[in-house]
Chain A
């Protein structure tokens, strides 16, 4: 039974993590120390120190690549077709969170062309008119059928927000 934990916003196996760090540090640190010693004995010390850093960083990358080959990602990736539900339900949910998506006929020529090419024109128009019938286009929080509950985004809505911006 693997021990899955969340570290730095993604899932890892704790034993693989310990092994991975041991390999990464185990390759990069000796590489740096040996290179530093070797360059120091052969002349220009400051420059040799910098080249040793370069060797050390190559060691970091090498270690990461090896770890990458040894341990596979702990993620499940699914590529879904857009939605199983009807497009109107999806648009209703978006409208509930974001506000009315509006009448596509009011868009400028370029944007209207884009919506048509995406095949969204009819769906947006239908949704807009249905809303207009139900009580005015300004009612952005109008609850459409089946618009309760889940958000329009899927499970990844709880994506890692790292909270460290600059």
Chain B
């Protein structure tokens, strides 16, 4: 190992440790959506000047550990730990009813660990295969993005309405960007991302302000949650995913991790649903089907996130996946540190700053650290941690934190104008999300249609 690699490795180790501890905790709190929380923190890490090795390790360790601990609220409380945990809810609730929520939890997170181990080498391999075609993919990007946006919109809850709503949403962004350009001769990105990610929250806050809106939100009493009883694993040995899962479960998890490492333009939630359905249809015994589908679905949330981050980063440099357009967006574009000129396709981001070998090295460091911290912690302390979060962390505190975060990040990016942009995008996006079923994933695609496809159409 050459001496000039030592400093980046130390950065990677340090930042991965920080992210793993931080996000194992954050994952326990339901509602902490990946986009709303991972993207701003990654942005912060970039802006305060952490070198590329630290940035990539921080990001990967964050998503790996968060996807391990998000299974805790999902299985023990029956509320999704974050957006990608939604497809696991049904199986989780049935296993809870059977009185074995700890099995649901252990299967889910063990599937996650196996999936990480498979997805990292495979997505790097797949990125290498794609690299020679990067220029062609980049040139086709405006058209790939609009096609993917329409497809993702159509597969969302909103179906055709979500596809049609892309038009006003894209035009809103184009209009706001033009106004910002006129006022400040600059472009904003973070304010748009933040508005999309926290849209449902901003929409709810507006609704709560309005007398008509508040009527629909009124609750009669406190909301009741039933926490499943604590049943600890019988053995006191160090937890081992290969022992927690049986051979069939390992095989199906590895298979779906391999498939989803290649299908990087599809939405992670859609892939988690699909892989679970395929697996479920092939397992005869009902009990076995429940636990295996749990395993595969949580595994898919890890593999899609890793592949959708690593492949565009290594091969292309443009954020050409739903994941790269959302939570991983700062890795591609975080001016003034990382820049991306959507018109010329010129990039100066992690794609240019790290070699494929370095990506592989730092990804492995991040994965090892995140798994070593999150997996044993969740296997052993899941019940205590879930109880503490539910009884001690008030929702008011979480919302207050987010409201303050929105203000600070917007003021940082562009003063009051940026704050106005975030509130506008958030209110419209939240409305489209709640009323039309056009989720944040579709809206992120809409943002890139506005900055990539619209100029390409106008240039025709």
Contact = CB atoms under 8 A, between A and B. Distances in A.
B223 A118 contact: no
B399 A17 contact: yes
B287 A107 contact: yes
B247 A110 contact: yes
Nearest to B445: A166
Contacts of B400: 17, 20-21, 23-25, 63-64, 67
B403 A24 contact: yes
A155 interface: yes
Contacts of B223: 6, 10-11, 74-76
Interface in A114-153: 114-115, 117-118, 120, 124, 152-153
A28 B401 CA distance: 9
B222 A11 contact: yes
Given A29-B411, A54-B48, A75-B223, A111 B246 contact: yes
B441 A120 contact: no
B319 interface: no
A82 B211 CA distance: 42
A43 interface: no
A23 to B, nearest CB: 6
B308 to A, nearest CB: 9
Contacts of B201: 7-8
Contacts of A152: 93-94, 97
Contact of B396 (A16, A47, A106, A160): A16
A160 B35 CA distance: 18
A109 to B, nearest CB: 8
A80 interface: yes
13 contacts: A6-B223, A8-B204, A8-B399, A10-B223, A56-B409, A68-B393, A78-B227, A83-B99, A87-B99, A153-B93, A161-B89, A164-B440, A165-B441
Interface of B: 30-31, 33-35, 44, 47-49, 77-80, 83-84, 86, 89, 93-94, 96-100, 103, 156-157, 199-201, 204-205, 208, 214, 217-230, 234, 246-248, 267-270, 284-288, 290-291, 322-323, 326-327, 336, 387, 390-401, 403-405, 407-409, 411-412, 433-434, 437, 439-441, 444
